[in-house]
């Protein structure tokens, strides 16, 4: 299954939604599902689902639907989750702690093998099965463990410095929760999750809801 054309970011972002729901269907013992039923579960039109999957080849059987386990495996291969990516988290505060204990990471193909912080009260603790090490040792751990993806949950003031250290250590991709734009080399993939933007969007829509609509 090779991509024959450029795939939009919107399609790529929907693939994990399909995958997560297919895992739930597997857990429920459901073997086959139609694009209509899958669309109902996700709030996505069946036409969009079929169009997204067509970008990567022919899936399912006309008049029958998608075989859940088969489509799961195909999406795993499309996204590359069979790589079993190793993850390192810098900043083991409340958010970092929660991410380190997020059990679904493993099922999605990600394995946390490095946790880093500067707080001596946290260093040495076992969080989610991984011992927190001093951030000054991050380069050594990243290289020895073969960590490819870094997650930054540190305060904004030190996020760029942490990103620089990750890049120097050989990290290939970064997911940052710091509320600022990181400067990294072009070959490094960086994505930013900003909770304040999501909450602000909710605030906007609640504030500007149509007259008479209940909150």
pLDDT tens digits for 7-23?
A: 888 999 999 999 999 99
User: 99: annotated binding-site residue?
Assistant: no
User: 93: annotated binding-site residue?
Assistant: yes
Q: Which residues of the chain have pLDDT under 50?
A: 1-4
pLDDT at 21: 95
pLDDT at 210: 74
User: 95: annotated binding-site residue?
Assistant: yes
pLDDT at 118: 97
The full set of domain ranges for the chain reads 9-81, 84-197
CA angle 185, 187, 192 (to 5 degrees): 75
pTM for this entry: 0.82
pLDDT at 213: 61
Average pLDDT value over all residues in the chain: 91
pLDDT at 1: 42
For β-strands 126-127 and 110-117, DSSP reports them as unpaired
pLDDT tens digits for 30-55?
A: 999 999 999 999 999 999 999 999 99
The dihedral built from the CA positions of residue 116, 119, 123 and 125, taken in this order, carries a sign that is negative
Q: Are 92 and 132 in contact (CB under 8 A)?
A: yes
pLDDT at 29: 96
53-57 own/partner pairs: CB under 8 Å, 24+ apart: 53/18, 55/3, 55/5, 55/7, 55/11, 56/1, 56/3, 56/7, 57/1
Architecture of domain 9-81: Orthogonal Bundle (1.10)
Cβ-proximal residues to 37 (8 Å cutoff; 6+ apart), any chain = 65
Domain 9-81 and domain 84-197 have a common topology: no
Domain 84-197 coded CATH 3.40.50.2300? no
User: 187: annotated binding-site residue?
Assistant: no
pLDDT at 2: 44
pLDDT at 62: 83
User: 96: annotated binding-site residue?
Assistant: yes
User: 92: annotated binding-site residue?
Assistant: yes
């Amino acid at each position: 299954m090779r991509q024959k054309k450029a795939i939009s970011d919107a399609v790529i972002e929907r693939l994990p939604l399909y995958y997560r729901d297919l895992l739930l269907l597997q857990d429920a013992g459901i073997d086959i599902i139609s694009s209509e039923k899958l669309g109902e579960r996700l709030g996505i039109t069946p036409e969009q689902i079929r169009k997204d999957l067509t970008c990567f080849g022919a899936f399912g059987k006309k008049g029958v639907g998608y075989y859940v386990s088969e489509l799961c495996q195909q999406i795993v291969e499309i996204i590359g989750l069979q790589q079993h990516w190793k993850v390192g988290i810098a900043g083991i505060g409340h958010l970092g702690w929660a991410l380190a204990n997020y059990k679904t990471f493993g099922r999605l193909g990600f394995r946390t093998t490095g946790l880093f912080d500067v707080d001596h009260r946290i260093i040495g603790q076992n969080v989610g099965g991984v011992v927190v090490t001093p951030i000054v040792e991050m380069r050594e751990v990243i290289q020895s463990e073969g960590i490819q993806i870094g997650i930054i949950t540190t305060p904004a003031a030190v996020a760029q410095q942490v990103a620089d250290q990750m890049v120097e250590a050989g990290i290939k991709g970064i997911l940052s929760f710091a509320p600022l734009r990181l400067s990294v080399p072009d070959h490094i993939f960086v994505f930013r999750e900003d909770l304040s933007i999501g909450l602000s969007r909710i605030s906007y829509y609640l504030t500007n809801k149509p007259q008479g609509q209940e909150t």
